[in-house]
């Protein structure tokens, strides 16, 4: 059985619902994980998604900022929310898929939106950057998101760090820019390794190939300049690592009318 999982920072689900619908009709992922929904749970466009075939929804949203959701064509057994840094700022949700979805062995899907960190890479002068570093430390230490040896798990989301040299358009010019500073890269890598997570995107597209999922709104001609970053990630537990058959970065959605600055990334996993 093939399971398809998409992650996408949509930068306001209500503003871009038509763009999401266009993607859904084309790609039809089994599970769609959105970040930065910017929508309280009681205002989420549930009816529209149900018409599109996504009847199973796990929400963690708030007005105006952040927010994550797992939308699924498959029923899940339960969902859970973890808080980080003592804040209820809607940056994590997970769902467990089991017998109701047709799986003999359950699969846990974690959806994350890591803080962006602001513009100044100094935790003493920039509280947003200090929050980001603390969040990454808690990801590293959080036992709940650390899969057991026999557990089948997937972690996706806008992790807001481009950890490798070829995850940015210029390592030399980006090394002092928030999202690619050495301390962020080290902390994200430590968080991944603490759970034995596998960076599935880089397993299928190893360096030195460039790999981007985000292009700034500040670039007037983003496609020509191609100054991207890989901020969106798909990690798998060791039990699923060798079952990822493909990962597709839908770059064309960055060129849509009123786009998000992120694009959808879809993994196909043989389960």
Instruction: Print the domain residue range for 265.
Output: 2-270
- Which of these, 260, 257, 214, lies nearest to 233 by C-alpha position? 214
Instruction: Taking residues 35-61, report their average pLDDT.
Output: 98
Helix, strand, coil % over all residues of the chain, rounded to 5: 30, 25, 45
Our count of domains for the chain comes to: 1
CATH of the domain at 237: 3.60.10.10
Confidence (pLDDT) at 220: 82
- Which of these, 80, 84, 147, lies nearest to 115 by C-alpha position? 84
Share of the chain above pLDDT 90, in %: 99
- Residues 155-178: pLDDT tens digits? 999 999 999 999 999 999 999 999
Is the confidence at residue 33, as pLDDT, over 90? yes
| Entry field: residues in the chain | 271
Confidence (pLDDT) at 36: 98
| Cα-to-chain-centroid distance, residue 122 | 25
Confidence (pLDDT) at 105: 96
> Residue 98: which pLDDT band, with cuts at 50, 70 and 90?
very high
Please state, as a whole number, how many other Cβ atoms lie within 10 Å of the Cβ of residue 187. 21
Confidence (pLDDT) at 146: 94
Per the CB < 8 A criterion, the answer to whether 126 and 116 are in contact is: no
* Cα three-residue angle 130-133-137, rounded to 5 degrees: 135
- Residues 183-237: pLDDT tens digits? 999 999 999 999 999 999 999 999 999 999 999 999 889 999 999 999 999 999 9
Confidence (pLDDT) at 219: 85
Confidence (pLDDT) at 69: 98
* Cα three-residue angle 112-113-119, rounded to 5 degrees: 150
pTM confidence score = 0.98
């Amino acid at each position: 059985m093939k399971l398809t999982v998409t992650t996408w920072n949509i930068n306001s689900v209500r503003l871009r619902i038509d763009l999401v619908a266009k993607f859904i009709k084309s790609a039809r992922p089994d599970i769609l994980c959105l970040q930065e929904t910017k929508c309280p749970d009681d205002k989420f466009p549930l009816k529209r998604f149900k018409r599109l075939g996504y009847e199973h929804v796990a929400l963690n949203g708030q007005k105006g900022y952040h927010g994550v959701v797992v939308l699924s064509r498959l029923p899940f057994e339960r969902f859970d929310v973890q808080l980080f840094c003592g804040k209820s700022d809607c940056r994590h949700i997970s769902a467990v898929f089991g017998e109701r979805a047709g799986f003999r062995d359950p699969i846990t899907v974690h959806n994350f939106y890591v803080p962006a960190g602001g513009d100044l890479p100094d935790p003493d002068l920039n509280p947003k950057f200090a929050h980001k570093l603390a969040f990454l430390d808690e990801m590293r230490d959080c036992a709940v998101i650390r899969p057991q040896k026999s557990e089948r798990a997937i972690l996706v989301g806008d992790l807001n760090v481009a950890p490798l040299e070829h995850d940015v358009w210029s390592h030399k010019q980006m090394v002092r820019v928030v999202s690619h500073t050495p301390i962020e890269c080290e902390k994200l890598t430590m968080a991944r390794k603490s759970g034995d997570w596998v960076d599935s995107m880089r397993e299928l597209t190893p360096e030195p190939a460039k790999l981007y999922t985000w292009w700034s709104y500040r670039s007037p001609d983003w496609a020509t300049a191609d100054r991207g970053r890989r901020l969106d990630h798909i990690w798998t537990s060791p039990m699923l690592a060798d079952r990822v058959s493909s990962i597709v970065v839908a770059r064309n959605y960055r060129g849509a009318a009123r786009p998000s600055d992120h694009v959808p990334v879809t993994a196909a996993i043989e389960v």
